[in-house]
Structure 1
């Protein structure tokens, strides 16, 4: 059972700008960072907007959202950075040793924890949050949305029959089973393997990477990781941004990173076609889905193009100019503007006097 009060003595409504807390779920402690407008900014805006839950990528922490979250907080939004297993402030278990409970790193376990956290945010805010996931965090956010759609009863495999049933997914506002998520935004996120051969290739790659980080250590592995073509555009970031990015990557332990590859990699996702069907059904039933990719990221622009074609307009797909794989880091203002637009579309109209 999820702990419905964030640690440190207060509920979600009592958070302050930039404070780090934690969220307990079935023995796992997840780190949470919170940004909100100052009291004067909140009074100036005078409205209650939909909260935003942000999920970072591999080897990152919630602080990767700082620039975007502060822009959104200045506009009156409350943002929550949810840290994945073994990342940031979260401990893997009571003893903090990831090897004690490798199941905490399972994609489905983390998705269930994220969904439970979204429900706490929704309860305390009085409105469901917009859920945003980047890269690996996008996989977890996607899985959480599918679990919500499956009425939390489908187990580890997506129940496609339930997804097609109006009893399992009803328009938001009429079925409280989907009140945990107001909208889903996926940033540079994979959608799953296209077939068994692709799944096996991804599994072999991820296990090889896990062996590499265990064998070489975090520093050497991250030197290699940062040099991947996927992150080429990040070499154009300001020196202080590149330094913070590296410091964040080095703040991880090898076993946690290895388990993330093995137990939450793309090879454990449902098939791509099943994922796209689920996303389309979410959109059709009142949960808007947005997919974002940077124009300099050829790999995920191709994912976006395939999703746009196969969803036949059911999913909003946007390419962000002058950005690579990490859109929110490379173009925080453009990314924030898109989030503001989604939040505004999800914000309930004020009650009539």
Structure 2
């Protein structure tokens, strides 16, 4: 199968996904296989929260729309133009996927197939339905892909390389278990924001998207703020008030109540607006419903520190004062060439 054929399959998937949004789902006659898949996908979206309590319709639709925007011929061509994908021998690539946010493993799935390899997928128990559904759709578009896609329930066998995503604890297990195979083992990472005090209300409101999207469960969610000495959090709290409805979601509210109680019982000083707590802490990984913060005195010293902590960080949200930073509100909109853990998945697959 040629690269152009494979690209066209995912472009068709992008068109299919582009029909679905929280406020304006529209069935388009020109989209392939809608008679089979359109209504079934709506039903699956509506059931997603019963499969995983964190998968609200709002967040599932957001993920779907993100992929619809990514899967265009222009984006796929730009992404793949850097690589030589011709005359590749197909290898069996095992994927062990996370399930913290909807379709979190789709980029790995796409990368394996677009490079002409066969994918063996072990889904997370928290996300067992969305990716298999999309796999059925692309097989309907291109039946030849059926021989390149297998979802595995038991033990993974007969694979040439593995891409596994998990916590720091599971990563140690993966590293030992797959020590004899080429691998990408992804560990826990966090995202941070660097504020100067000169941010506009619009920027701080956009930062709320980086914090609250997917309830803060993703590695691209901001869990830590770096702020200058004497920084006033009043503008920050005023700007993120737009996200107050998050507290009406029971699972989030339970985490807010529990984590706030734990902090208070430990006599930690907190800033609190009724749906988010801020705690001064040197760690990057804050619990759900809380964001840590730390004061800095010299921006250049902070830049040096962030470079030294590169392997702990997924995104740095800031203005142009920080190299390779992400704009406010954009952490959950990565491009195809923005790789998890900053590891080039395509290059890895081409070396096997």
Normalising to structure 1: TM-score of the pair?
A: 0.31
Q: Which has the higher helix share?
A: 1
Determine which structure has greater relative contact order: mean sequence separation of CA pairs < 8 Å that are 6+ residues apart, divided by chain length. Answer: 1
After TM superposition, the score normalised by the length of structure 2 is: 0.31
Larger Rg: 2
